[in-house]
Structure 1
Amino acid sequence: MLPSPTGPCQTSSRSLVFGLGPSITSEDGIITGAKLPTGRQILRCMLAKKPGANGALSQFEATEGVLEQVRPFYKKANIPMVSDKRACHKMVDFVNANNKLRKISQAKRSSETTAKQLEKMECRLDATFPLWPPNVEKLIDNP
């Protein structure tokens, strides 16, 4: 057997999670980068904290932890954020929407409806996760 570029007997990619991409690792628990976080970063960070597992954080505690990581990005960009409670609800709703998509049975995953739902979720995952108020343009003093 020839060694692969990633090393002997290693696979070149992690296992995939339907509707999310590569499997969740502990590295996903930290949001990095120079831009406002995307939906994918928020979701992966939330899932890395494993809310509800024995000895793990509750979903609300995990959300607060993610929010503490996101807050500096918004502060650096000088963009106001919604209240902590509203931000936590938006993140929980987003995780629940993704969980609903991932619970679709294998038999129905190739249907046209599922493909549309997956495409819509992919757009949400790749877009900046909106934690700003609806009137943010009026609140930002930047001519």
Structure 2
Amino acid sequence: MPTRGRPPWVWFAAAAVVIALGVVVVVRLRGPELVDVGPPAGRVTIAGELTLEPASPIAGGMVAARATLSADRDITLTRLTVKVRDESGTSHDFPALENVTLGTEARELVLRRRFDTQGTYTYYLTYQLAGEWVDLPPWQQVTVS
């Protein structure tokens, strides 16, 4: 039975379009599929905090890098250090610690060095395990005055 001079299939087609658009909107608003971002099999997860003391160092003064770290299981890292790069990319790394043991309980490690030159430096924690170096974000900056 025609309604207002249009055949019934027109109304069915319009309803199908509205339903299809509704499905698209719901799917889009639902958000992306969640993907597991856990560590690959055999990889260790290390979490913690890295700070420098003093927070505003002066050239020639001693600087302590304090790392409070834990791991998802007991592990011994071959080496652990704080990599430091100046604005030109030159390396000013802290001396590395060797055979660092970590477990599920937080552990504080302290590395020390002097920065003889004023400038802005980028620093981050890195460790070596099974011959591979792994850099841990975040990359932070400090200005030595």
Q: Shorter-chain-normalised TM-score: which range? A: under 0.3
Q: Which has the larger radius of gyration?
A: 2
* TM-score, with length taken from structure 1: 0.24
Which has more helix, going by share of residues? 1
Higher relative contact order (CA 8 A, sep 6+): 1
* TM-score, with length taken from structure 2: 0.24
